[in-house]
Amino acid sequence: MSKIIEQVDLESRQANPQARYRAGDTVRVHVRITEGTKERIQVFEGLVIATRDRGVRSSITVRKVSHGIGVERIFPIYAGSIAKIEWKRRSRIRRSKLYYIRELRGKKARLAEVRSAAAPVAETFPPAEA
């Protein structure tokens, strides 16, 4: 990647620091929805089944079951449409991608909670070089 793109990427992430979420985390994503001239916040709560770490282009895939139907959404972490992301809990997992959860139903789809887990903190960056 060119130095200019890396610099813009770093500046964007410094301006809007986000925590590092992992697969197995349960999160509440607050999304800004614009309908005509009105704007509202819609909350999507679910399990992070995949993460994509690409700097300012990073995203998380969140899955929830709504009325018996599995719903997945991919959220770009640094997008302006994301008002905030709340971390709820962390589960004990041994994989980086939890795509197998799609096939499981009922109690088999549950993951063991890590009780001593601390909430993820926002990234910190070294001072910019002049």
| Domain encompassing residue 79 | 18-109
Query: Beta strand 82-90 with 25-35: parallel, antiparallel or unpaired?
Result: antiparallel
The pLDDT of residue 126 is 63
CA distance 60 to 20: 10
Share of the chain above pLDDT 70, in %: 92
In-domain check, residue 42: yes
Tell me the CATH number at 76: 2.30.30.790
- Comparing 118 with 21, the larger pLDDT belongs to 21
Answer yes or no: are the C-beta atoms of 42 and 33 closer than 8 Å: yes
The pLDDT of residue 119 is 74
- Comparing 130 with 34, the larger pLDDT belongs to 34
Answer yes or no: are the C-beta atoms of 93 and 111 closer than 8 Å: yes
In-domain check, residue 127: no
Question: What backbone phi and psi angles, to 5 degrees, belong to 16?
Answer: -135, 75
Question: What is the rounded average pLDDT of the residues 117-123?
Answer: 73
Domain total in the chain: 1
Reported as a single tens digit per residue, the pLDDT across 54-105 is 888 889 999 999 998 999 999 998 888 999 999 999 999 899 999 999 998 8
pLDDT at 18 over 90: no
pTM: 0.82
